[in-house]
Structure 1
Amino acid sequence: MKPLRLTALGLIGIVLGLLGFAAAHLSDRAGASTPVLPYSALGSMAVIAVFTLALGIRVLRWRNEETRKTMVDPIFAARTLVLAHACAYAGAVLLGWHAGVLADQIPVWAARATSPVVLQAVAMMGGGVVMIAIGLLVERFCKIPPEDNDEGESDTAPKRKTGDAEGGYARCADRGSSAAGGEAR
């Protein structure tokens, strides 16, 4: 899997910001309610973020062990990485959408500064930032540091192309054939 790119997350945020702005503007013109998530969505976002962080910490603990008595299940590590990416992308979507809604509310900000719509949008933007941060952090937890041995490069380590970042993600092939027959934990 390729690492997350901040430019991709930023682009997603900008596109969804424009869509959120347009949706808020159209809903105001139609007399409908402004399209923001309710405060209860913060609870769901917190559960997802905490769950992602807990799984990432489990992979980090395995990665930082000096003597690896048991192998981490490679499917577990891969799923944790995918969850971290999904968390970051969802955070970018939520941040962008609600920033667009908030931008639409700027002309009437003075009259409705404590409006529930403004406060909800700001809260959702904060939740989006937290989800992005946790996604990026857990992605770093899932990276395997490069192995050093007497010969310079490990024979079980995957061959890297020029320009790849140091280390890779946790994969079954990174630890040799014992990972395939190892105990899943």
Structure 2
Amino acid sequence: MRKLDRMNPLTSIAAAAMGMAIGLLVQFYLSGRGHAPFVPPLSLPVTLVFIAAVLLGFGIRLRHNVSKRTRAVNPFHAVRLLATARAGQIVGGLLGGFGGGLVLSLLGRSVPAPVASWLPMLLVFGGGLTLVICAMITERLCRVPPGDDKGEETDPETGPEPADQAAFRKP
């Protein structure tokens, strides 16, 4: 089987660039029509941070169970957590970039926007960034430690194999 490495950080950066472009286009469309700028609800950044915390909590619990061998680890749960962490990186980049694009569109105005307009946009940017960082940490926590292979050697260049390839071999 082929080893899978960590997700390329350029994927998150590309998602953030696309989100920023979408945020700018939304604001330019609304200002061209004479409407007020789009202000995201405060529940969006709260939800992003909540998802990041839950994802990180599951990653820490998985790492604890693997390293301490307290309980048997279901390999399918580990693979699902890895897939969720990778999806979190993309979604966090996209929504964080969207919030950044919304804020960026307000910077070019001659009259500064009120705090009630730009603060939720800035919070969405921060929530997306938090989700990306927590998802990257969780993806790192889903890797099997080097000593768990029982006779098989790990490649020194790539490090321990990812959870989706190791399937947490039984002792």
Q: TM-score range by the shorter chain?
A: 0.7 to 0.9
1:35 positional shift: 3.2
1:173 positional shift: 4.8
User: Using the alignment, how far apart are the partners of 1:109 and 1:167 within structure 2?
Assistant: 54
Structure 1: gaps spanning 5 or more residues: 180-185
CA RMSD of aligned residues (A): 2.6
Cα 1:51/1:148, change in 2 over 3 Å: closer
1:126 aligned residue: 126
- CA deviations on 1:116-169 (whole Å, 9 max, x unpaired) are 2211111111111110110001111101122388xxx834x7x86xx9621122
- CA deviations on 1:53-103 (whole Å, 9 max, x unpaired) are 1111111102322xx354201111111111211222111011111111111
2:159 aligned residue: 166
Q: Secondary structure at the match of 1:125?
A: helix
User: Using the alignment, how far apart are the partners of 1:172 and 1:108 within structure 2?
Assistant: 51
User: Using the alignment, how far apart are the partners of 1:33 and 1:74 within structure 2?
Assistant: 49
2:151 to 144, 149, 154: 154
2:24 aligned residue: 21
Q: Could you say which structure has the greater relative contact order, defined with CA pairs below 8 angstroms and 6 or more residues apart?
A: 2
TM-score under structure 1 normalisation?
A: 0.78
Q: How does 1:1-185 map to 2 (within 5 A)?
A: 1-65=4-68, 68=69, 70-108=71-109, 111-112=112-113, 114-147=114-147, 154-155=151-152, 165-171=158-164, 173-176=166-169, 178=170
For 1:56, the aligned partner's letter is G
- Report % sequence identity: 21
For 1:95, the aligned partner's letter is G
Structure 1's consecutive aligned runs of 4 or more residues displaced over 3 angstroms after TM superposition are: 171-176
